Homo-oligomer: A and B are copies of this chain.
Amino acid sequence: MASLLRLPSLLSPSKGPLLRRRLPAARLAASAASRGQASAAAETRGGDREGQVTPRSADFNAWYTDVIAAAELADYGPVRGTMVIRPYGYAIWEAIQDYLNVKFKETGHSNMYFPQFIPYSFIEKEASHVEGFSPELALVTIGGGKELEEKLVVRPTSETIVNHMFTKWIHSYRDLPLMINQWANVTRWEMRTKPFIRTLEFLWQEGHTAHATLEEAEKEAMQMIDVYTKFAYEHAAIPVIPGRKSKVETFAGANRTYTIEAMMGDKKALQAGTSHNLGQNFSRAFGTQFMDENGQIEHVWQTSWAISTRFVGGIIMTHGDDAGLMLPPRIAPIQVIIVPIWKKGDEKSAVLEAVDSVQKILKEAGIRVKVDDSELRTPGWKFNHYEMKGVPVRIEIGPRDVTNKSVVVSRRDVPGKQGKEFGVSMEPSILVNHIKGRLDDIQASLLQKAITFRDSNIVDVNSYGELKDAISEGKWARGPWSASDADELKVKEETSATIRCYPFEQPEGTKKCFMTGNPAEEVAIFAKSY
């Protein structure tokens, strides 16, 4: 599918989208021109320069959009702020789905599907919910050629319609807990958009549960933020910080919002998943009641929780480098790319035979492996291409390897010769063990690297001045906080940083609020965020 001819259109924004890269126009043009040259050259000499991207250190935002284009993760849709998720990007989303879908079922949730059109009046029923979402709504006003009597909201989230249905289904304590999930598209009319991170329409899962008691709802909300945390650490190799949102940052309609906050490569924070204890806010607004074991009528206690395609953006921005994407093996659509190498015609069949056999061995061991034996590209081009795509392990097999019954193994996360091993035996059990070992090493190493990066960029602060310094250096600030919502908004205005969360993991001992000097029960983490 990769085509040099395709590159120019991919690297320039589509007609009229607001999702523009923040590159000076001149640089963009120069870059496109140089790529055009490289492409033209490549046509004749099978050049190796396709997919070069802006260096990450030079311009993180440009790097991000370049990688998305060059690795063919996504493209701009025709409507401002919309995104087309291309097969390789979608495969990462499918890996996220595959893991979470199993976990949701293991924890007692069933998938189902609610309509995306919500009567406008529903949104108005829960006071803070309408306040939070009404500026972002897309409204259907015409259906089947006629003006509708009531405008329909294209769901920005489904709490209202879920509660409308829960009210029909829940009557007795025997109907509880009711625990469901849906995989769906949602629409929020965002003004500043960025592929994967914030788009007009995105894909997500939204869990919704109803319980007989506050305690059960709280336990569920915590359980689901734990599921997300575990997924982020163990599969995406993203060392998120789980915690509680401040009142100001709590979801519109929730009593409490739990969050996982991730530090991106530019040190900005990304809210990567949330879980809300909704209390009885929606059940009161929609009259969702049940008869308890004593015959009393009560409102149900609820939660909702979500992870979206934004997480794909988080993976890109956590692990990528100047050569492109770097995918943690557990969520990589391709874990191993095999590149055959031959020069003389008579070498070809022996090399391809060995390649085929190695592919079969790895596939049977459950490793996601792909062979690129295209003769339209040089091995060098392929090396760059699959580095750009973040494939964790590359295997090269040439005539000498065939003779030695061995292969060359390279790690995506260790550049150059240091990441390269020669003479790895083709003997099935040795090879499989070796590759599985390398995939585990890479998984662990990506996580460790991200932990080190995170921890070296969080500063403990004991005064507002220290917070300002930390934030102006682009770091996260952690300090005791018990000041007012007004103070929190002042920090935001003056530094652009917000409270990302009160982390679950708190230092021991008594604390004094760095803003007011009053006693503080908890430290909060402040950071600039996406």
* Closest B residue to A333 using CB positions: B110
Q: Is A185 an interface residue (CB 8 A)?
A: yes
- Specify which chain B residues have a CB less than 8 angstroms from the CB of A154 in the assembled complex: 140, 154
Stretch of A20-28, A74-82, A403-411 lying at the B interface: A74-82
* Closest B residue to A168 using CB positions: B9
Nearest CB of chain B from residue A190's CB, rounded to whole Å: 8
Contacting pair A144 B94 (CB below 8 A): no
Q: Is A142 an interface residue (CB 8 A)?
A: yes
Q: Is A161 an interface residue (CB 8 A)?
A: yes
Q: Is A30 an interface residue (CB 8 A)?
A: no
Q: Is A518 an interface residue (CB 8 A)?
A: no
Contacting pair A171 B91 (CB below 8 A): no
Q: A121-162, CB under 8 A of B: which get 1 and which 0?
A: 010000000000011111111111100000110100000010
Given that A114-B77, A115-B82 are contacting pairs, would A168 and B1 also be in contact in the complex, using a CB cutoff of 8 Å? no
Contacting pair A112 B138 (CB below 8 A): no
Q: Is A200 an interface residue (CB 8 A)?
A: yes
Within 8 A of B (CB), among A1-55: 1, 3, 5-6, 9-10, 14
Nearest CB of chain B from residue A482's CB, rounded to whole Å: 36
Contact partner of A189 (CB less than 8 A), chosen from B90, B141, B143, B175, is B143
- Specify which chain B residues have a CB less than 8 angstroms from the CB of A175 in the assembled complex: 1, 3, 5-6
- Specify which chain B residues have a CB less than 8 angstroms from the CB of A174 in the assembled complex: 3, 5, 376
- Specify which chain B residues have a CB less than 8 angstroms from the CB of A144 in the assembled complex: 135-138, 189, 191
Oligomer: number of copies: 2
Q: Is A113 an interface residue (CB 8 A)?
A: yes
How far apart are the CA atoms of A164 and B365 in the complex, in Å? 40
Q: Is A116 an interface residue (CB 8 A)?
A: yes
Q: A200-224, CB under 8 A of B: which get 1 and which 0?
A: 1101000000000000000000000
Most chain B CB neighbours (cut-off 10 Å) among A86, A118, A168: A168
* Closest B residue to A72 using CB positions: B169
Contacting pair B141 A141 (CB below 8 A): yes
Nearest CB of chain B from residue A228's CB, rounded to whole Å: 22
How far apart are the CA atoms of A135 and B143 in the complex, in Å? 9
How far apart are the CA atoms of A291 and B141 in the complex, in Å? 43
Q: Is A165 an interface residue (CB 8 A)?
A: yes
Q: Is A111 an interface residue (CB 8 A)?
A: yes
25 A–B contacts, CB within 8 A, in A order: A3-B171, A5-B171, A5-B172, A6-B168, A6-B169, A10-B168, A75-B165, A78-B119, A79-B115, A84-B112, A84-B113, A84-B115, A84-B165, A85-B112, A85-B113, A87-B112, A136-B144, A137-B142, A137-B143, A138-B140, A138-B143, A138-B144, A139-B142, A143-B200, A145-B189
Residues of A whose CB lies within 8 Å of any CB of B are: 1, 3, 5-6, 9-10, 14, 75, 77-79, 82-87, 89-91, 93-94, 110-119, 122, 134-145, 151-152, 154, 161, 164-165, 168-172, 174-175, 178, 180, 184-185, 187, 189, 191, 200-201, 203, 291, 376
